[in-house]
Amino acid sequence: MRALICTFGFDADKIILAMKCIKHDHLVLVTGTDNLEHDSFDRISSLCQRLRTPFEVMTTDKFDVLASMSVFQDLVGRLRSEGFVVCMDIGGGVHTLSLAALLAALNLGVETWHIDRDPVRLPVLSGVSISSRLSSEQRALLLQIGPGARMDGLRLPGNRRDAVMRVLLELKRSGMVRVESALPDASVSLTEEGVVCRQNMMRGVPKADGFTG
């Protein structure tokens, strides 16, 4: 069984095109509560009823990237636990919601499409999460970075400062962390992508879908 998650704004045609282009047995719309009052939502709901396609809605603060990423991650985890292979279309809704969906998809290894006028499959490795692509040193350091973290408080086996600096630079280049300066007492913080990756490592990433061609 395949579940299709779509970001939704006010354009029903984008969702209908996604439903035509992407094979699915279950549809989930992720959107803001205000979007549910629009005629386009009623149109999609009616279509799912006619097609007898199971249909559900998840609401989120569509302008809050971190909150929306958490919604997407929990949703993917639940669907996978129910036996679904999950795919995602990020072509609908506001930019912030699409960004949250993409970051969650990258982190969890979800087959991802951007469907507007033409269907475009994005280069996300299905079944391969961001955290699984990190080295053991990168994961160890990422788990230590929280609010108020300082560079001189980070540790790796052997307590080699050169190793800490090297791994921090790798994480910075990958877009996971922000480093204020090269000074030992400089603050280190996670980017939005780094926060999501750290959250997944701390709570355990749900079993990934199988690879798709």
pTM, two decimal places: 0.68
Q: Which residue has the higher pLDDT, 125 or 15?
A: 15
Residue 204: both structure tokens together: 């355990």
Percent over 90 (pLDDT), the chain: 51
What integer pLDDT is reported at residue 199 of this predicted model? 75
Q: Which residue has the higher pLDDT, 205 or 64?
A: 64
Q: Do the beta carbons of residue 77 and residue 85 sit within 8 Å? A: no
Question: pLDDT tens, 160-172?
Answer: 788 888 999 899 9
In degrees and rounded to multiples of 5, residue 178 shows phi and psi of -120, 130
Q: Do the beta carbons of residue 68 and residue 30 sit within 8 Å? A: yes
Q: Do the beta carbons of residue 121 and residue 113 sit within 8 Å? A: yes
Q: Label residue 125 by pLDDT band (50, 70, 90).
A: low
* Domain covering 2-121 in this structure, CATH number: 3.40.50.10770
Query: Above 50 in pLDDT, residue 144?
Result: yes
* Residue extents of the structural domains in the chain: 2-121, 131-203
Most confident residue range from 39-48, 105-114, 115-124? 39-48
Q: Do the beta carbons of residue 13 and residue 34 sit within 8 Å? A: no
Q: Label residue 204 by pLDDT band (50, 70, 90).
A: low
What integer pLDDT is reported at residue 203 of this predicted model? 62
Torsion of CA 63, 123, 106, 47, to 10 degrees: 60
Fold of domain 131-203: Arc Repressor Mutant, subunit A (1.10.10)
